[in-house]
Structure 1
Amino acid sequence: MNATRAYLEHVAIWVKDIHWHIRFFEDVLGMTMREIDGTVEEPHQYWALGGLQFIHNPRHEGSEGRLAHLGVMCEDLDAALAAAQRYGVSEMPQGRNWLRLPDGLAVELIQAKPAACVAQALAIDPRAET
């Protein structure tokens, strides 16, 4: 049995032109600002409602939109961290809740507050007819 239940809370991607991405996702999909690091004029990072995080990096040498990390909301952060240690993950400098998987993927585990919101999010059927 799983130690905890979780859902993907956000995906963080590196983008060269953060303003273009902000405008596109806001105008096309209505994904407005949830949080910003920096100013609206010069954002370093931008979180949109709906689970996207843009990290401005004009010198990024990978493909546009390269994945930076996965943000996963957990019912029980401590249980998830304990379970993760059995898989050979390593803690990242950002803190004990940041894990580097053996293939290089970074995962940020976030304690849901209240924990019950995980069950509520998982109960949503995105393909329901009504």
Structure 2
Amino acid sequence: MAEHYISVIRAIQPHGPFVISCYSFGGIVALSIASKLANAGETVIRLILFDTYFVSGVQELESSYSFEWAQCVIDAAIAHFPPMSQDQEQELGVEIWKNTRLMSHHDPEFYDGPTTLVTPEDHS
């Protein structure tokens, strides 16, 4: 995903400085984008992550993702969209579950540039 987004970014702006920002799961991708750009010699002025969740260590991450957690995410998503059919809800659930499994096996590259993490006051 990071490589794809870097190609899109470079099509608009071939060289930095860059400000990279994403929300939630996208923050994991943004971290990888910032790392790859920095490793390519580009300047990343700031990485801004909005409500991004990351746990270091696969074992801790795997234990934090459960069927109950995924169902809470699905329920929250459904509550914010127009009514969905049962098939659409099931398809959404499958995609959310696939993303959480991918996150549990992702070991992000090191990035030590300027970073801001924005989190909600209410974590419900």
For normalisation by structure 2, the TM-score amounts to 0.27
